[in-house]
């Protein structure tokens, strides 16, 4: 989903309930079209596959997983189909409805339950999980990352894993794209300190951007950093999918460079998102 289409601006702290509701309304408004041809496009699916493989390598089928910001349930249904037990949560009630419908359609309701719950409300959730994952930036919308880390430590068993894909600060394609158009403020939006107002579909998503190590710092008390890598470092971000569609062969070559080199020092700090894996001590 293109959350970068409209202008962004710096805003003062602190975060409040109104802003969480803005973000909720923004995602409610795109839920019906979220899986459409631009929403779940080829560039998104490439990153999604890397997430699926990473969760699969960390945790065996049968594990109990918590999905933070599940959207329409594309990942949750995939994992439930492969024998995982998933609690899928999201702050947008419309997204949760889509996840429930998808679970019924796929016949995996016995292994997938969908709950309307914001990441900022994790203290309301009970249970014990082998792993928590979050795909495509829900954690960029969480007002207090230290509180999230604290709740994950309570919910995840010792030795369990966190696998998160998070929007990073250095996206080379985005920098180049906007700088060439002399939209320097837009090019620099990810570098801003604190929360940013990002437009989508006429609404505002209140967003924090992170470098991977800056992100891990919030979790460091309870979770060891296992690995991290850049996603869409050489490839453009998903909202530039038209470029990919004009020259798929050429861009697939860039995708293979992402697969091979995205874990290397320096490159792993770049990309549209980064994928970070942590282990509960
Ligand atoms: C870009 S979508 C990603 C959805 C899904 N993970 C995927 O891979 O397609 C971001 C999701 O985060 C959810 N979200 C935003 N703020 C949230 C919050 N505070 N708590 C929980 N979910 C939130 C949105 O409703 C939306 O479904």
Could you give the number of structural domains in the chain? 1
Check pocket membership of 108 for ligand 1, CB cut-off 6 A. no
Quick: pLDDT tens for 53-81: 999 999 999 999 999 999 999 999 999 99
User: What are the DSSP calls for 51-117, one per residue?
Assistant: HHHHHHHHS-TT-EEEEES-TTSHHHHHHHHTT-EEEEEES-HHHHHHHHHHHHHHT-TTTEEEEE-
Atom 8 (ligand 1): residue with closest C-alpha?
135
Q: Is the distance from the beta carbon of residue 27 to the nearest atom of ligand 1 less than 6 Å? A: yes
Encode the chain (281 residues) as per-residue pLDDT tens digits: 445 444 455 554 555 799 999 999 999 999 999 987 656 799 999 999 999 999 999 999 999 999 999 999 999 999 999 999 999 999 999 999 999 999 999 999 999 999 999 999 999 999 999 999 999 999 999 999 999 999 999 999 999 999 999 999 999 999 999 999 999 989 999 998 899 999 999 999 999 999 999 999 999 999 999 999 999 999 999 999 999 999 999 999 999 999 999 999 999 999 999 999 999 99
Distance 64 CA to ligand 1 centre (A): 20
Res 7: pLDDT: 45
Q: Is 69 in the pocket of ligand 1 (CB under 6 A)?
A: yes
- Residue 238 belongs to some domain of the structure: yes
Q: Is residue 8 part of a domain?
A: no
Phi-psi region of 117 (alpha: psi -120 to 50; beta: other; left: phi over 0): beta
Asked if residue 97 has its Cβ within 6 Å of ligand 1, the reply is: no
Residue 27 backbone zone (phi > 0: left; psi -120 to 50: alpha; other: beta): alpha
Contact 29, 93 (CB under 8 A): no
User: What was the pLDDT predicted at 256?
Assistant: 98
Ligand 1 close to Cβ of residue 141 (< 6 A): yes
Q: Is residue 83 part of a domain?
A: yes
Residue 63's CB: how many other CB atoms inside 10 A? 19
Q: Name the residue of 18, 69, 237 whose CB sits within 8 Å of the most ligand 1 atoms, as the mutation to test its pocket.
A: 69
Domain membership flag for residue 45: yes
103 and 90 Cβ atoms separated by less than 8 Å:
no
Give the residue from 272, 117, 144 showing the smallest Cα distance to 206: 144
pLDDT attached to residue 16: 75
Q: Is residue 20 part of a domain?
A: no
In a domain, residue 245? The reply is yes
Q: What CA dihedral angle connects 81, 98, 197 and 210, to 10 degrees? A: -10
Nearest ligand 1 atom to alpha carbon 1: 1
| 84-124 pLDDT tens trace | 999 999 999 999 999 999 999 999 999 999 999 999 999 99
Model-level pTM? 0.95
Q: Is residue 41 part of a domain?
A: yes
Q: Is residue 179 part of a domain?
A: no
Residue 92 CB less than 6 A away from ligand 1: yes
* Domain enclosing residue 138, as ranges: 32-170+211-280
For 177, phi then psi, to 5°, come to -55, -50
Question: What CATH number does residue 154 fall under?
Answer: 3.40.50.150
């Amino acid at each position: 989903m293109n959350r970068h289409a409209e202008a962004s601006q710096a805003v003062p702290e602190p975060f409040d309930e109104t802003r969480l509701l803005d973000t909720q309304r923004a995602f409610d408004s795109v839920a019906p079209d979220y899986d459409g041809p631009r929403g779940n496009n080829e560039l998104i699916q490439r990153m999604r596959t890397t997430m699926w493989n990473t969760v699969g390598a960390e945790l065996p089928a049968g594990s109990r997983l918590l999905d933070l910001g599940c959207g329409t349930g594309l990942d949750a249904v995939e994992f439930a189909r492969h024998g995982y037990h998933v609690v899928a949560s999201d702050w947008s009630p419309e997204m949760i409805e889509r996840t429930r419908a998808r679970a019924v359609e796929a016949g995996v309701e016995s292994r997938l339950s969908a709950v309307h719950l914001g990441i900022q409300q994790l203290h309301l959730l009970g249970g014990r999980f082998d792993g928590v994952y979050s795909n495509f930036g829900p954690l960029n919308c969480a007002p207090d990352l230290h509180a999230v880390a604290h709740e994950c430590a309570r919910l995840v068993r010792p030795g369990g894993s966190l696998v998160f894909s998070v929007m990073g600060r250095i996206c080379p394609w985005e920098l180049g794209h906007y700088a060439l158009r002399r939209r320097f403020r837009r090019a620099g939006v990810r570098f801003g300190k604190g929360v940013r107002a990002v437009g989508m579909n006429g609404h505002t998503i209140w967003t924090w951007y992170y470098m991977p190590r800056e992100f891990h710092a919030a979790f460091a008390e309870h979770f060891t950093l296992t690995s991290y890598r850049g996603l869409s470092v050489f490839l453009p971000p998903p909202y530039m999918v038209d470029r990919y569609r004009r020259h798929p062969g050429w861009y697939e070559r860039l995708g293979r460079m992402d697969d091979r080199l995205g874990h290397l020092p320096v490159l792993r700090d770049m990309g549209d998102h980064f994928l970070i894996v942590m282990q509960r001590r």
